[in-house]
A and B are shown apart, each in its own frame.
Chain A
Amino acid sequence: MSRMGRNITVSFERLRRLGHRQDRPQRIAADAGTCPRCDSHYSADEMRRNLRVCSACGHHFPVSAHERLEQLGEPGGYTELWPELRAADPLQFTDLKPYVDRIREAESKTGMGEAIVCAEIEVRHIPCVAAIMDFAFMGGSMGAVVGEKFARACEHAAQKRMPLIVLSSSGGARMQEGTLALMQMAKTVIALDTLAEARVPFIVILAHPTTGGVWASFASLGDVTYAEPGALIAFSGPRVIEETTREVLPADFGRAERQLANGQVDAVVDRRELAARIGRVLHILAPPAATGQTSGSQAVQWAQESAERMGRAAQAFPGAARKVIDRMRPGNGDDMEAGK
């Protein structure tokens, strides 16, 4: 059989299977707004208002990176960082199409320069650095630009002592940049330690899908990790696993809810509650006053204030205050343990 003939046979088979694939990322045009799960219809306006969540069944549609930023902060209330960075083509890579053509197509399709958008943003009045990935740009794949922008976001957040919020939606490393794309995993993991040194928190939101080299690098290293409902979170996707090991996987394999049960994420959070949830956890981990450089005198002032508050409380509730103060005395630690 000629080579061409064989190719056609394979493609036929593949097409048939493509129709039945469950793991395929949703390609429903968001503005057309037909829910793939319950067939509810939405106008473009409704979709935007509902944060692209089906109000009938809760299905989460894909969201562009810029719209994500508007959902998390105030509309238009963010400053994009390093939008000018563009991919190079170190391998002069061509598969079925040259890499440079794929980039050009992705740019015109999405209006974005790359698969990640970094910005300074306020989430519930807390200034943050956000790095938001967009699956629509070449499957959200991580090449040199994504790695570089991520590393700069870490360094920027550390320097300004602001929390870093990362939203991942990616198939993994960008194949078309070959070995150098793989190395971005190392770059991002190392860059994260600049955050650790600056002692600012790192929040990860796992959106559909987060797989491959992105899950196996920064996306699995969040201090706090939330996942959107139904998001596929895996190092190897279901198709690769089924083809390699011949295992039959359950329908919910790798999905956010399952990964919560596996202990891989802290919570599954509905998109409509996401900004509030991030705001809440940041108010605990990095309250606005504490994210600036905490000077010694500030700390002393806080201590004095809290001592005064305690004093006032002691006058108002003598019995309760006595108990608290007793517990804080050295040597009474056992009581605290027993009291738990």
Chain B
Amino acid sequence: MSAKPDAPGFVRRITEKLGRAPEVQVDEDLWQSIQLARHAERPYTLDYITRICSDFEEMHGDRVFGDDPAMVAGFGRFHDRPVAFVGQQKGRDTNDRTYRNFGMASPEGYRKSMRVMEIANRLGMPVVTFIDTPGAFPGASAEERGQGGAISRSMQLMWRLDVPVVAIVIGEGSSGGALGLGIADRVLMLENSTYSVISPEGASAILWRDASQAKAAAQAFKPTAANCYRWGVADAVIPEPPGGAHTDADQAAQIVDQYLERTLADLAALSPAERRVGRRERFRRLGPLRDPNAGVAMASGRDTSSPG
């Protein structure tokens, strides 16, 4: 359909512009994987913590303003060793979802998590984060209390930790809200999880100026675990039970348990200084660019050819 000839000039121009927008071939597997990452029955942070810990004590409050139910933080025993766990928490039913603010953390949440990480660092416990959020909470209250600074300081603290740090993306990891828990020695991603600069819906509204282009946005970002592994953003992809993690939470948690145990053992073999150098280098090399002085494009990740 094209605009009528008598349409005002700007309508015609827009129609032409839209007409030129390339048709996007959507890879249905990719879209399905992105939908699985946010499946309503997917195991959430506490589902994993309660299954992989023999004991878990949850901490509450940032000691400054309040407690943020969208963020869970505490200490547990994992394979008979103390480990600090932190992660965004989503809700299961309508009430619970509202209570957990859809897993969108406020500054208090990041400050609570920082408080727990500092204790872990002092007591020599590894830190494990679970990432599962559509983004940090976009609200006026969060802005007033310093959402930007809470995320940046959380990243800064995680980079400075002497203890081993592992981040596991279990569902959707979107925007700075996800990365606020993502500065780790190893970043693991579940098979059907995503890690992206923005949710497909958000990107669709901003870049396509049309909220209905989420699939096209997802196709353009390709934020799947496999691609993140290719880019070097993720260090390993954790397989899920056939059909996805929601089909068997117990089995999903058991696989996560195995990967986490091995990763922590690997990291324990390194000194704090070695881990910090590795952590710095890990993020320093991410992001390909063209540097004429370097002769070739700076390599990024494992595969410099086009991600599929």
Question: Which residues of A line the B interface, CB within 8 A?
Answer: 2, 4-8, 10-12, 14-15, 84-88, 90-96, 143-145, 147-148, 151, 173, 175-187, 189-193, 212-213, 215-221, 233-236, 240-241, 243-245, 247, 249, 253-254, 262-264
Contact = CB atoms under 8 A, between A and B. Distances in A.
Contacts of A87: 289-290
Nearest to A245: B139
A178 B223 contact: yes
B287 A184 contact: yes
Looking at B14, B136, B152, which has the most chain A CB atoms within 10 Å of its CB?
B152
A182 B217 CA distance: 16
A90 B231 contact: yes
A263 B144 CA distance: 8
A156 to B, nearest CB: 15
Given A179-B233, A219-B152, 8 more contacts: A11-B210, A91-B220, A179-B228, A216-B148, A235-B138, A244-B139, A245-B139, A262-B145
Please provide the 9 A-B residue pairs with the shortest distance between their CB atoms, ordered closest to farther. A144-B287, A236-B138, A215-B148, A95-B207, A220-B149, A216-B176, A216-B151, A235-B147, A183-B286
A88 B160 contact: no
B139 A247 contact: yes
B199 to A, nearest CB: 11
Contact of B17 (A96, A173, A235): A96
Contacts of B207: 95-96, 175-176
B81 interface: no
Contact of A178 (B17, B160, B183, B197): B197
A221 to B, nearest CB: 5
B28 interface: no
B293 A84 contact: yes
B219 to A, nearest CB: 10
Interface in B146-203: 146-149, 151-153, 155-156, 159-160, 175-176, 178-180, 182-183, 195-198, 202-203
A8 B153 CA distance: 43
B138 A245 contact: yes
Contacts of A91: 220-222, 307
Interface string B203-223: 101111111100011001111
B179 A253 contact: no
B2 to A, nearest CB: 8
Looking at B142, B227, B288, B298, which has the most chain A CB atoms within 10 Å of its CB?
B288
Nearest to A144: B287
A8 B195 CA distance: 32
Given A84-B292, A190-B280, A190-B284, A221 B153 contact: yes
Contacts of B176: 173, 182, 185, 212-213, 216-217, 235
Contacts of B21: 96
A193 B156 contact: yes
Contact of A193 (B14, B147, B159, B293): B159
A186 B152 CA distance: 8
A215 to B, nearest CB: 4
Contacts of A93: 220
Nearest to A99: B220
Contacts of B227: 179
B112 to A, nearest CB: 17
A219 B148 contact: yes
Nearest to A225: B149
A218 B210 contact: no
Contact of B287 (A15, A183, A220): A183
Interface string B268-308: 00000000000110011011111111000110100000110
Contact of B144 (A143, A190, A240, A262): A262
A179 B197 contact: yes
Contacts of A175: 197-198, 203, 206-207
A190 B159 contact: yes
Nearest to A88: B288
A182 B179 contact: yes
A213 B176 CA distance: 6
Nearest to A237: B138
A100 B308 CA distance: 19
A151 B3 CA distance: 49
B288 A179 contact: no
Given A5-B1, A10-B210, A235-B147, A190 B139 contact: no
B155 A217 contact: yes
Looking at B216, B222, B287, B293, which has the most chain A CB atoms within 10 Å of its CB?
B287
